[in-house]
Chain A
C-alpha cells in the first residue's frame, strides 16, 4: 500500500517536472515597431519583453512595459509616452494566445516552421483578438520565435493630435524576436 503511494507520488513529481520541461521563457525578448511618416520615420525598440512559451500546449504569452520603448529621439519618446500611449495610465501591453499548429513542430529537430498565432492583444487598455503569422526556429535545442505584423492605431483607441494626424501612418509595423531558455 505504502509502496503504491510512494510510487504514485514519484510519478506525479516526475510528470510535473517533465511538464515544466515543456515551458520556455525569456525576460529580454525584443519587440520593435516602425511607422513611416512624411517628416521622419518613427521606430522604437523594447528589449525587456517577458515571454513564456509552452511547446506542448502552444500557449504563448508576451508582456512588456510601454515606457521601456526606446526611440532614437528623446522628443519622440516623450510624445509616445505622454500623448499617444499614455504610459502612466496604461503601463503594460500584453498578448496571450496559442500557436494553432503547434503539433506540426518537431522541437527535437533543427529547422524553421511557419506558425499561426491567435490570441488577445492588449494595447492602450484595449483588447483585440488577432491572428498573426510567425516563425519558430529550433537550432541546437534553442528555440526562437519571430513575427511581423501590422496593427491599426485606431483599433486601440490611440489618438493622434489633428495637427500631426495626416503625417502619421494609420498602421504600425510590429516586429517580434525572442530567444527562449528552458524553464
Chain B
C-alpha cells in the first residue's frame, strides 16, 4: 500500500513538472502576433497623425499598441539601418509623416502611390520645435494590405 501510494505521488509529481515545464516553454517561445491576418482598426494617415500628434499626454489608447490599417499617399520609400523598407505616408503637416517600417519586403511601392498599410501603431514622437521639425507617428512590422 505504502509503496503503491508513493509511486502514485511520484507519478503525479512528474506529470505536474512536465506540464509546468511545457507550459513555461510554450509561453516563453510563443510567436509574435501575426499582423498580416490580424483584424485591424481602419483609419487614414491624416486622421491618425492629427489624433496622435495632438495627444501630448499619451492618453489615447484607441490606437497605441493596436494593429491599424492606414490608407494614405506614399511620400517616400527608403531603407533603414537594418535594411528594412520604410514607407512615409503624407499628412497635412509638411515634414510630418506616418512612418511605417515594413516587416514584409515590398518592391513595387513608390512615391505618389495610394496605399493601404497594416502594422502596429506605436504612437507619436515629437520633432524639434527650435528648428521647426515636426514629429512622426510610427507604425512597425507593417504589411502591404489590399
A-side residues, CB < 8 A to B, are 20, 23, 25, 27-30, 45, 47-48, 50, 52, 61, 63-65, 67-68, 70, 73-75, 77, 88, 91-92, 177-179, 183
Contact = CB atoms under 8 A, between A and B. Distances in A.
A48 B81 contact: no
B25 to A, nearest CB: 11
A52 B28 contact: no
Contact of B131 (A23, A64, A68): A23
Contacts of A68: 122, 138, 140
Contacts of B82: 30, 45, 47
Contacts of A23: 131
Contacts of A48: 99, 101, 122, 125, 136, 138, 140
Given A70-B140, A75-B30, A183 B122 contact: no
A92 B125 contact: yes
B144 interface: no
A68 B136 CA distance: 13
Interface in B89-146: 97, 99, 101, 122-123, 125-128, 131, 133, 135-136, 138, 140-141
Interface residues of B, number: 32
A29 B99 CA distance: 12
A26 to B, nearest CB: 9
Pick the 7 closest A-B CB pairs, nearest first: A30-B81, A68-B122, A48-B138, A74-B32, A47-B80, A52-B128, A28-B80
Contact of B101 (A28, A61, A74, A183): A28
Given A29-B81, A65-B122, A68-B122, A74 B99 contact: no
30 contacts: A25-B127, A27-B99, A27-B135, A27-B136, A28-B78, A30-B80, A30-B82, A45-B82, A47-B82, A47-B140, A48-B101, A50-B125, A50-B127, A50-B135, A63-B126, A65-B122, A65-B123, A67-B64, A67-B65, A68-B138, A70-B140, A73-B29, A73-B30, A74-B30, A74-B32, A74-B33, A75-B27, A75-B28, A75-B29, A88-B58
